[in-house]
Each structure stands twice: as structure tokens, then as C-alpha cells.
Amino acid sequence: NAELEKVKAAIQENLQQADHSDDDLIEMYAQKELLEKATQEAEQEHYTWRGKIAETENEITALRRRKDNAEIIENELKDERNNLKLELNALKERLSVEFNVDIQELLDSGIPAEENEAELREKTEKMKRQLDDFGAINPMAVEAYNEMNERYEFIQSQKRDLAEAKASLLATIQEIDDTAREKFMSAFTMVRENFIKVFRSLFNEEDSCDLVLTDAQNPLESDIDIIARPKGKRPLSINQLSGGEKTLTATAILFSLYLLKPAPFCIFDEVDAPLDDTNIDKFNNIIRTFSKDSQFIIVSHNKRTIASTDVIYGVTMVEQGISRVVPVDLRELAD
């Protein structure tokens, strides 16, 4: 029992020592955290001061640079002032020698300047350039000027005459164009009306035709489209018509021009060759209609055309190389 009590006492003592050790360990951990926090704050403050020191060094460097620039500008201003003094002395000397003017007297007189320095400098430079442009004095300048002026006046007179002639010519051209346009449009309108009338007499009243200007705004330079559409056909161009239809359309065009200013006689050379009997009769009828005002000479091999004429002139070869003309007046036979 005694030993057991000793053991218990030893255990109790060890437990108490362990508790004390835990407390010490906790306290040491707390101290460690405090030390780490203090270390971090010290490091942060260290870096803060390093940044401030760097900023201060940069400011010092900038101030030194500004000081150096200021010293350079100061030296330049000193040099400029010395140069201005030299120029001023030279100007004073020049005014005194060339113009007999004492600049100091003008400055002491207190007369206010009407213009500022910049304007005066600009005017001075302008006058210098003008003097340089004048060059050396030419004693023959007045005579040369008078000669050139006389030549200039002559050229100007010629120019005015040419301008007036040009204006007159343009007006004449415009008048001619207007007259030509008016006469052309009048003739075109009449020919168009005649073409429609003659075309329908050769074809049918239901057939359509027309003459159209491709450029109505510029009729004198415009092409003319011939539109011919016999009943039952819708050709896109006159080339799509048959040979007989083309011939009758061309005949209508010829007679529409003929009606504009009838000629004393007309000659047709085998115009009726492509026509069939029905169209031959139409062709002969229109020839008969217009024969009241003009004589028509027709070269033909068509019997219907020959039979519709008043006088026939037959040409035959009686011998080799010898032709004979045989006239027949059908009007006498009819009587």
C-alpha cells in the first residue's frame, strides 16, 4: 500500500508538471504569434519607408534635373540677351549711318509706337523681301514697262475680240442647232405620220408601225428605230420580217420621205422582185395613187407590174451586141 501511494503521488506530480508544461507551451505559442506579428509590422514599416526614401530620391533627381535645365535656360537667355545687345548696337549704328536717326533720341522722346514690335518686324521683313525682289536698278525699266504695257493692252484687246467672236459664234451655232432641231422635228413628225399612213395602205389598218428616236433629248444625233408589226406578228426588229414585208416597209419609208417634198419623177429598180401577187397589187396601187403628182420609172420583170403601167419600154437584143427599145403605150390600147 505504501508503494501504491508513492506511485499515485508520483503520477499526480507528473500530471501537475504536464499541466504546467501545457500552460508554458500555450504561452510560448502566444509569444511566438506576437513576435511574428511584430516582425511583419516591422517589415511592412521597413518597406513603407523604403518606398518613401525612393520617392524622395526621385524628387531629388527631378529637382536636380530641373535645376540643370534652369541653368541651361539661364545661360541661353544670357547668350540671347548678349546677341540682342549686339543686334541693337548694330541697328543703332545702321540707323545712324543710313538714315541719320538716333534711336536713343527716339526712345527718350517718349513718342508712343502705333504698332507693336511683332507687326513692325513683319513689315520690315516684307519690305526687305520687296527690295531684294527689285534687284539692281534698271535705268531702262520705265521704257521696258511702257513697251510691255503696250503689248499687254494689245493682247488684252485681242483677247476681248476673240471672246466676243467666240460668244457670237457660239450664239450662231446655238441658233443653227435650234433651227435645225426645229426643222428636223417638224420633218420627222410629218415623215412619221406619212409612214404610218402609207404602211397601213400597203398592209392593213390593224397593222402597227412607228418611227422612234432612240435619243429624244438629242434628236440631231439620235438613231431612228423603224418599228413594223404586221397583224399576227411581233418581230423584235425589222430583220425578222419576210423579204416581201421588208420590201413593203422600205417602200413605205421611201414614200413617207417622198410625201415630205414630192419629186417630179422617181425611179424604182426591181423593187417588186421579192413581192408575191397580193403585195404586187398593193405596190402597184400605191404607185398609181402617187403617179398623179409624179412620174414613176419602174424597172421590172413582173407581169402584174408591167400591166399596171401606162407606157412600157421593152428592151430586147435583136443581134449580138445590139439592143432594141420597143415602146408600147397601154393607154392607146385601152382606148
Q: What is the pLDDT of residues 52-80, one digit of tens each?
A: 888 888 888 888 888 888 888 888 889 98
pLDDT at position 143, please?
82
First-to-last C-alpha distance (Å) of the chain: 193
Spatial contact of 279 and 248, defined as CB atoms under 8 Å apart: yes
Distance CA 332, CA 310 (A): 9
Q: What is the pLDDT of residues 125-139, one digit of tens each?
A: 887 777 777 666 666
Distance CA 282, CA 108 (A): 119
Spatial contact of 241 and 273, defined as CB atoms under 8 Å apart: no
Give the residues across from 313 on adjacent strands.
327
H or E segment at 90? helix 2-98
Domains of the chain: 145-261 (3.40.50.300), 263-335 (3.40.50.300)
Tell me the whole-structure pTM to 2 decimals. Answer: 0.48
pLDDT at 276 over 60: yes
Q: What is the pLDDT of residues 140-159, one digit of tens each?
A: 777 887 888 889 898 999 99
Altogether, the residues listed in the chain come to a count of 335
Spatial contact of 213 and 222, defined as CB atoms under 8 Å apart: yes
Distance CA 68, CA 64 (A): 6
pLDDT at 121 over 60: yes
Distance CA 141, CA 155 (A): 20
Q: Kindly state the average pLDDT of the residues 221-231.
A: 86
pLDDT at 268 over 60: yes
pLDDT at 95 over 80: no
pLDDT at position 107, please?
66
Q: What is the mean pLDDT of the chain?
A: 83
